[in-house]
Amino acid sequence: MANIQVHGGRVEALPLRWRELWLKEDWWAIWLGLGIVLIAYIFFANGSSIRWLAVTPAKWSSFTELEAHFATNYVRYIAQFVAWLAVFTIALTALGHKAREFIPSFVVLYVLSVVIFALGQWDKANTYNLEPPLVALALGLLLSNVVGLPRWLDAGFRVEFYIKTGIVLLGATLPFTLILWAGPVAILQASIVSIVTFLVIYWVGVKLGLDRRLAATLGAGGAVCGVSAAIAISGAVGGKKEDAPIAITVVIIWAIAMIFVLPFVAQYLHLPAGVGGAWIGTSEFADAAGFAAAQTYGNIASSGAVAGSSDQAVFAYTLIKVVGRDVWIGIWAFILAIIATTQWERTETGRKPEAAEIWWRVPKFVFGFLVASLIITLVTTGYSLADFNKSVVPTLVAPIKDLRTWAFIFCFLSIGLTTRFRELAGAGRKPFLAFSAGAVVNVIIGFILSAIVFAAHWETVAR
């Protein structure tokens, strides 16, 4: 019986153990991300670069310029499309998806991504707030909610897979020394916010009469990493089947609203890029949604509207959200599993929490992010700053960064394309109120910590 594998929604009798290495998208994001980093380094070490493949639309001010760019570089785009298609198809097929469904869907996604990327490179884009993350999200929402898309197209809209791959690639552009320097403050700040937010949502939820397992599921969704945390905690505490969909609905509504609100509030408050990124990292709920907001704020910084650089916003966000918050999900799950099985229901699920749960649930792609950072930091240690900027950045770091940008655009577009508001479960007033209470507290404490207590730290991060 231990070897039973029945598919089609039924059951996987085998414990995951080592099979996680090819059955979880976290690991595939690591294989893909680190694979790209290693290939980029091999080219670099041999005096070449993957720059040709990492093509992106150039800045343009007239359609003639844009047309000329694509006329000159269309072969590079085709090659890049084929490369993305190949690696994603391999990974998703291994995860159990059907290539014949993924391929046509990815064609649509890539073409739309090229359009959005090109639009973001228009020299008037900032004037009209045409930030690529926001345009991608808005276009996706419009297509999925107003125009309507066939369900089979969803096969290529893998939000989490793209964002995880992008985060691993992001690691290669972020010095490991910066993680060591800024990481402790990020973890401290994220921990304060996470604990307070969780307790507020849980307390308000229980006071409103919600089941404790639902209150905990909502609390984790607001405090740690959105939908992913909510389903992790729901499983850990043995929630009702309807708990996770309720949490999914409130997280999506709040997270998408925050994407459009936070960057512009931060701009209105003239927060430096690093401070704004840290605030978004403490206040957004899901990684993908937060990256959309942080990238938008980075673009605002690039336009000169606020102090700092695009990298500062994205790096500060990443340190808070990925390093500071995401890695705690396993610990939250373990603690709440203990409480659930010893205090809430001692006999219902016949389960003893195991410390190994911390490892099982930790988002493994974070290790890929750290390893990518370590690899690039180590191989570039001997370069002076001048040599680094002159030879390493354009031939090694910049192409990886460009590929990361593509992965993020695939993700932002997929968020909109997969979010069908009318299909979301009804959340109910009480869960929404409980979550909203935590969200408001989250934003306020996040602002105090980012813009006042640790303002000097985040203002200078990656300067």
Output 427 or 445, the one with its CB closest to another protein. Answer: 427
Output 51 or 420, the one with its CB closest to another protein. Answer: 420
Report which secondary-structure segment, H or E, holds 281: helix 273-283
Please choose, from the candidates 223, 218, 250, 222, the residue with its C-alpha nearest in 3D space to the C-alpha of residue 234.
Answer: 218
Output 228 or 442, the one with its CB closest to another protein. Answer: 228
| Distance in Å, CB of 237 to another protein, minimum | 9
Q: Does 105 bind another protein (CB under 8 A)?
A: no
List 57, 132, 226, 399, residue binding another protein (CB under 8 A): 226
CB neighbour list of residue 224: distance below 8 Å, 6 or more residues apart: 194, 198, 325, 326, 328, 329, 332
Output 32 or 275, the one with its CB closest to another protein. Answer: 32
List 148, 150, 304, 350, residue binding another protein (CB under 8 A): 350
List 59, 207, 240, 270, residue binding another protein (CB under 8 A): 240
List 55, 112, 119, 159, residue binding another protein (CB under 8 A): 159
Output 371 or 396, the one with its CB closest to another protein. Answer: 371
Asked if residues 435 and 255 have their Cβ atoms less than 8 Å apart, the reply is no
DSSP letters spanning 159-184: HHHHHHHHHHHHHTTS-HHHHHHHHH
Site for another protein in 319-338 (CB under 8 A): 329-330, 337
What are phi and psi for residue 416, nearest 5 degrees? -65, -40
Instruction: Find the distance separating the first CA and the last CA of the chain, reported in whole Å.
Output: 58
Output 92 or 273, the one with its CB closest to another protein. Answer: 92
Burial of 150 (0-12, 13-18, 19+ CB in 10 A): exposed
Look at the block and give the residue holding tokens 């705690």. Answer: 328
| Distance in Å, CB of 34 to another protein, minimum | 16
Site for another protein in 406-425 (CB under 8 A): 415, 418-420, 423-425
What are phi and psi for residue 145, nearest 5 degrees? -105, -25
Output 249 or 267, the one with its CB closest to another protein. Answer: 249
Site for another protein in 284-323 (CB under 8 A): 285-286, 288-289
Beta strand extents in 2-76 (DSSP E only): 5-6, 11-12
Asked if residues 277 and 314 have their Cβ atoms less than 8 Å apart, the reply is yes
The region of 169-177, 223-231, 308-316, 445-453 touching another protein under the rule CB under 8 A is 223-231
CB atoms within 10 A of CB 256: 20
Q: Which structure tokens are listed for 274?
A: 């690093």
Task: Say how far apart CA 251 and CA 285 lie, in whole Å.
Answer: 7
Task: Say how far apart CA 371 and CA 374 lie, in whole Å.
Answer: 5
Classify the C-alpha dihedral 245-365-176-334 as positive or negative. Answer: positive
CB atoms within 10 A of CB 74: 11
Q: Does 360 bind another protein (CB under 8 A)?
A: yes
Q: Does 51 bind another protein (CB under 8 A)?
A: no
List 61, 74, 104, 354, residue binding another protein (CB under 8 A): 354
Site for another protein in 363-382 (CB under 8 A): 363-365
| Distance in Å, CB of 196 to another protein, minimum | 22
List 37, 135, 362, 443, residue binding another protein (CB under 8 A): 362
Q: Does 100 bind another protein (CB under 8 A)?
A: no
The region of 118-126, 158-166, 273-281, 369-377 touching another protein under the rule CB under 8 A is 158-166
| Distance in Å, CB of 259 to another protein, minimum | 11
Site for another protein in 175-194 (CB under 8 A): none
Q: Does 277 bind another protein (CB under 8 A)?
A: no
How wide is the angle at C-alpha 179 spanned by C-alphas 175 and 180, nearest 5°? 110
Q: Does 112 bind another protein (CB under 8 A)?
A: no
Please choose, from the candidates 129, 85, 135, 134, the residue with its C-alpha nearest in 3D space to the C-alpha of residue 115.
Answer: 135
At 394, the amino acid letter reads P
Residues 114-153: x where in contact with another protein by CB under 8 A, - otherwise, as a string? ----------------------------------------
Q: Does 405 bind another protein (CB under 8 A)?
A: no
CB atoms within 10 A of CB 79: 14
